Amino acid sequence: LEAFDGVKGDAYVVDPKSLDKEGLFGSLDPTTLEWTDGVFTAILRGVLANHRGEAARRHWVVFDGDVDPDWAENLNSVLDDNGLLTLPSGERLAIPSNFKVFMEVDTLKHTTLATVSRCGMVWYADDTVSRAMALKHALHMLETGASSGGSGGG
């Protein structure tokens, strides 16, 4: 998109299966009642704080892994028209228009209808992009010095 409209973009790739729900969204210490942000919440807060001009950039949080209801249900209010992340602490964070959530999955086997109904779907057959095509593209990107995205690129 950057080549089309000139708006730079950042991608934050998260493997949701490598963290528990608290690691993704945050946790409230029952003794001190102190809130600690998880990975997703910390990314969102960084964009909202706009310390480095984040408001002028496009932000993509990519959940690269199976959609598990245990963590995905927490995103339902983010994905629907409310555009709010409601934390267990009671705090609500509004999702800005330049912040997008993208889920890259192999299957929707464990996904609930509530989550699926809030998402747009794009499906590619296994033979749409072959390994040879992906390798050729990656080599071209290395030869030209272009970035193919990834965290902080884009």
Q: What span, in angstroms and rounded, lies between the C-alpha atoms of 107 and 71?
A: 16
Quote the CA–CA distance of 33 and 72 in Å, as a whole number. Answer: 24
Q: Which of 27-31, 37-41, 100-104, 148-152 has the highest mean pLDDT?
A: 37-41
> What is the rounded CA–CA span in Å between residue 118 and residue 113?
9
Cα–Cα dist 98/119, whole Å:
17
Q: What confidence tens digit (pLDDT) does each residue in 82-135 have? A: 899 998 888 999 999 999 999 988 888 888 888 888 888 777 777 788 888 888
- Cβ proximity of 21 and 82 under 8 Å: no
Q: What is the largest CA-CA distance in the chain?
A: 55
**pLDDT (tens digit per residue) in 36-66:** 999 999 999 999 999 999 999 999 999 998 8
Name the pTM for this structure.
0.78
- What ranges in the chain are assigned the alpha helix state H? 2-5, 21-25, 39-49, 69-72, 76-79, 113-116, 131-144
Residue 146 has a pLDDT of 64
